[in-house]
Amino acid sequence: MKRCSICGEAEGVVDLTHIEGGEVKTVHLCAKCAAEKGIQTPAALAETPLGGLLAAMGAEPARPEPGVLTDVHCPRCGASLQDFRETGRLGCPDCYQTFAEPLRELLRRLHGSAHHTGRTYYGPGIAPATVPTESIDTLRDRLRRAIESEQFELAAELRDRLKERE
């Protein structure tokens, strides 16, 4: 049993991991100390009067939503969508395919899009010139989506890349 790192009295129910100066530190917090730091635990969310409203708005649900992949489990690791909602972690790489639709919807709500619009990581030994370039049609589509989602900095970058190609 891990004691709370702050008060030392209650059992730690939340593990908070953070990086300070390149060093990884993990702090164990009880429900009270976690609440004081503004960290909402699933148990605390269910106990609040607004817990049901927050769950309906997309916060961590207190119980599984009926009819939404509640009985589907990953064939490789056995994880369920409810496990992901409780922990925020998937069990294995196959979970991404098993829970593709709910994950896509979550990404759409969080980021405004389910498609990557940031920079591309090339990795060591791979020069950007050796990576296939995007077609003009793909750039136009990405520009349209960036404008629709009001990502104007990305839209300006895509516009400039289109001008270079045309």
Tokens describing residue 57:
């708005």
149-155 long-range contacts (CB < 8 A, ≥24 apart) are: 149/112, 149/113, 150/112, 151/112, 151/117, 154/117
* Local confidence band at 63 (pLDDT 50, 70, 90 cut-offs): very low
**pLDDT score of 59:** 53
What residues contact 55, with CB distance under 8 A and at least 6 apart?
Answer: 45, 61, 62
Can you give the residue ranges of every domain in the chain? 1-60, 134-165
**pLDDT score of 52:** 52
> Where are the extended beta strands (E) located within the chain?
14-20, 23-29
CA angle 145, 146, 149 (to 5 degrees): 85
The string over 22-44, giving b where at least 16 C-beta atoms fall within 10 Å of a residue's C-beta and e elsewhere, is eeeeebbbbbebbeeeeeebbeb
* Local confidence band at 147 (pLDDT 50, 70, 90 cut-offs): very high
The total number of residues written for the chain in this structure: 166
**pLDDT score of 133:** 65
Residue 76 pLDDT more than 80?
yes
Residue 67 pLDDT more than 60?
no
Q: What percent of the chain has pLDDT over 90?
A: 6
Note the pLDDT tens digit of each residue in 18-48. Answer: 777 778 888 888 888 877 776 766 555 545 4
What's the rounded Cα separation, in Å, for the pair 143 and 147?
6
For residue 23, the SS3 value is: strand
Residue 87 pLDDT more than 70?
yes
Average pLDDT, the chain: 75
